[in-house]
Amino acid sequence: MLSIAIMLREPIPSSALATRIPWWAWTGGLFGAIFIGISILVTYQLGAAALIGLLVTGQMITSVTMDHFGWFGLPQRPIDFPRLIGVGLLIGAVVLIRR
């Protein structure tokens, strides 16, 4: 990212601009750093395939839940049987990868 910033010659934001950013906007960087750190630590124990499988499965469960409840202004799409089968297959895939 630093090399891209140098190539694009973007000016460094002022401290006044940084103080106007809402607190929650900084959580993306914090959670991103935590995610990278944990991924590095657990990849050796889980393996790359299991790690990616768990990530995708977690994201899919979260997205189905978000659709079901209509979070973040999304139109509500109730969890139905085909969606449950899809989530179940993802969970089954992770179980098989971990064997």
Looking at the 3D structure of the chain, how many domains does it have?
1
The pLDDT value recorded for residue 78 is 94
pTM, two decimals, is: 0.71
Joined tokens for residue 64: 């189905």
**Residue 28 domain-assigned?**
no
**Residue 8 domain-assigned?**
no
The pLDDT value recorded for residue 89 is 97
Domain residue limits at 67: 48-99
The pLDDT value recorded for residue 16 is 85
Element (DSSP H or E) covering residue 10: none
The pLDDT value recorded for residue 34 is 94
**Residue 35 domain-assigned?**
no
**Residue 89 domain-assigned?**
yes
Residue percentage of the chain with pLDDT more than 70: 100
What does the DSSP assignment read for 29-80? HHHHHHHHHHHHHHHHHH-HHHHHHHHHHHHHHHHHHHHHHTGGGPPP----
**Residue 13 domain-assigned?**
no
**Residue 7 domain-assigned?**
no
**Residue 65 domain-assigned?**
yes
**Residue type at 71?**
W
The pLDDT value recorded for residue 14 is 83
Average pLDDT over the chain, rounded to whole? 91
Inter-residue contact 83 to 61 (CB < 8 Å): no
Joined tokens for residue 22: 């809402």
